[in-house]
A and B are shown apart, each in its own frame.
Chain A
Amino acid sequence: MTDTIPPTERLAARLRELYQRYGFKQYRVSKFEEYDLYARNKRFLASPHILTFSDTNGRLMALKPDITLSIINNTRDDDRTRKVWYTENVYRVPRGGGGFQEIMQAGLEMLGTVDLYAMGEVLMLAARSLEAVSPRYVLELSHMGVLTGVLDCLAAPAGAAEAILAAFEAKNAHDLASVCAGAGVDGADAALLERLCRLSGPARPAVEELLSLPLPPAARQAAAELDQLTGLLELFGPCNASVDLSLINDTDYYNGLLFRGYVDGVAAPVLTGGRYDSLIHRMGKRGGAIGFAVYLNELERFLTQPADRDVDTLLVYEPGDDPAAVIAAVQAEVAQGRTVRTQLAGRTAVTYGRCIRPDGREAT
């Protein structure tokens, strides 16, 4: 039977059902937002390009390049904790350029009081979201607090921090060592940074290795949180979780837990998320926040098999054929779960599985 629902839409429906089952409410946003919101937080966006237009009242508006900023902006700053999910289109220039694209994104956000259990639940939902795509997935965890805890204790000049972060993120141990040496970083601290940037693998052993390292107190506290979260995830059930501390992000927006999801067969992350308390504080709101987005556009190719035909059956009739016979033949095909296209005899613009006449005989 031919399935007419695009796979990404079917996946979006599964994710919606999953998020609702855990009490997250749908959040609907308009396609537009004032440009100023994005101009103030450009570095938070995946791409700096924003599609703008002037509204009828002269205000500069933007087609949404991001949903998280809108949700924070439109959420009242009170003591209530909100759990929301969304499936929306965003407008941005993908990495590699090529102009603006409409990108379908699903995700969830939790704003308010974010405790350990809440973080574990969001991680579990991220893992289940990936599982809905493929059993061959990896949910990669990291914690900004580990690296910032180590960097805060280094006697490195401010200018060196950027080069250290760039080398760390690329697991580039050789350049990391030379940047550290050039910046006068102590040999033991440089060796610790190198081990941290290489540290990756299944969550439990990786966390144990992390805890065995000589971490400064702030970094140790972050490592302990990662340990607790790994334990919580295990309680939720089997999960392909791994730890990779080279996963870092902008500290002006993100703090604490960070995570990314990968599916075997897709060459880019299909899910990204983390704690972004720093962002909501920058936007003048209180409390904590955690969330993630699933990039349905990255999954389109993976989920969609190229169709070998437009229709299952092409039903060809002649001008003199009895309409009742044509209708009966069409209904018989539809009842069998097949797609059918009818047309008068002649050349066709579609590809088809088989071609029949109203009496059921194969036509040529």
Chain B
Amino acid sequence: MEMLNIALPKGRLGEKVYDLFRAAGYDCPALLEPNRKLIFENEAAGVRYFWAKPSDVAIYVERGSADIGVAGKDILMEYTPDVYELLDLGLGKCRMCVAGFAGFRDDGARTLRVATKFPNITRDYYAAQSRPIDIIRLNGSIELAPIVGLSDVIVDIVETGKTLLENGLAPLAEVAPISARLIANKARFKFVGGRIDTLCRRVAAIREQEHGK
């Protein structure tokens, strides 16, 4: 049987996703062994897993190196890869938000300076409101930008809101809810679509069981 190649995001989310896949019958014990290997196979289950940087998972899937993968909705919205988005796993739930000083009021008189790791999501969000903005692309510590006067607001992922709160900031508006999504390569789906469908059904059933507990 041809192996189903699955790209998982490295880190806590990836481990949770693997637990879900294992419960659905796609076990691969070698995956959790403490070593530096990147690829793990279970021939009997017909699966080959590999760990990838979370923001790269969609690239592996879009280019067909992985048949399926799990990526955050934030990555899918930002890079719009040409893939099928088959299942909302309901894991890694958070929100993409506009955040700034709690009392910040945008009166529209000036171009809004927005710091973000997600320039495309930010551009689309403000374009839909016809609001002129100046995007400041940062790679990390986005919360710093309004504090030191680099930007008026930020667009970033908010999980608990604790970091914002500790820095005197607050979510001002929700751009979109975020969660982990199961994605598939469109071309591979034409040849192994049946197996991908089965996997999705089993994983969805496990999610429902967990929800019902």
Which residues of A are in contact with B by a Cβ distance under 8 Å? Answer: 95, 136, 138, 140, 170-175, 200-201, 242, 244, 246, 262, 264, 266-269
Q: A267-B63, A267-B64, A267-B185 are in contact. Are A171 and B84 (CB under 8 A)?
A: yes
Asked if A170 and B83 sit within 8 Å, CB to CB, the answer is yes
User: Chain B 158-189 against A: per-residue CB contact (8 Å), 1 yes, 0 no?
Assistant: 00000000000000000000000100011111
Asked if A266 and B82 sit within 8 Å, CB to CB, the answer is no
Q: A200-B193, A201-B193 are in contact. Are A266 and B187 (CB under 8 A)?
A: yes
Beyond A170-B85, A262-B190, list 7 extra A-B contacts (CB 8 Å): A138-B191, A170-B83, A171-B86, A201-B193, A244-B190, A262-B187, A267-B63
Closest residue of B by beta carbon distance from A201:
B193
Q: Quick one: which of A242, A267, A269 has the most chain B CB within 10 A?
A: A267
Asked if B190 and A138 sit within 8 Å, CB to CB, the answer is yes
* Minimum-distance CB pairs A-B, first 8: A267-B64, A172-B85, A174-B88, A138-B190, A170-B85, A171-B84, A262-B190, A262-B187
User: Chain B 82-104 against A: per-residue CB contact (8 Å), 1 yes, 0 no?
Assistant: 11111110000000000000000
Asked if A262 and B193 sit within 8 Å, CB to CB, the answer is no
Asked if A175 and B85 sit within 8 Å, CB to CB, the answer is yes
- Give Cα A200–Cα B189 distance, bound, in whole angstroms: 10
Asked if B190 and A140 sit within 8 Å, CB to CB, the answer is yes
Contacts of B186 in A (CB 8 A): 269
Task: State how many residues of chain B have any CB contact under 8 Å with chain A.
Answer: 20
- Give Cα A266–Cα B186 distance, bound, in whole angstroms: 11
Which residues of B are in contact with A by a Cβ distance under 8 Å? Answer: 62-65, 82-88, 181, 185-191, 193
- Give Cα A131–Cα B87 distance, bound, in whole angstroms: 33
CB distance from A269 to the nearest CB of B (A): 7
Asked if A170 and B84 sit within 8 Å, CB to CB, the answer is yes
Asked if A95 and B82 sit within 8 Å, CB to CB, the answer is yes
Closest residue of B by beta carbon distance from A246:
B84
Asked if A174 and B84 sit within 8 Å, CB to CB, the answer is no
Contacts of B64 in A (CB 8 A): 266-268
- Give Cα A266–Cα B190 distance, bound, in whole angstroms: 11
Contacts of B63 in A (CB 8 A): 267
Asked if B187 and A268 sit within 8 Å, CB to CB, the answer is yes
Query: Which residue of A174, A175, A262 contacts B191 across the interface (Cβ within 8 Å)?
Result: A262
11 pairs of residues in contact across A and B, judged by CB atoms under 8 Å: A95-B82, A138-B191, A171-B84, A171-B85, A172-B85, A174-B87, A175-B88, A246-B84, A266-B187, A267-B185, A269-B187
CB distance from A364 to the nearest CB of B (A): 41
Contacts of A136 in B (CB 8 A): 191
- Give Cα A269–Cα B82 distance, bound, in whole angstroms: 11
- Give Cα A172–Cα B182 distance, bound, in whole angstroms: 10
CB distance from B78 to the nearest CB of A (A): 14
- Give Cα A246–Cα B193 distance, bound, in whole angstroms: 14
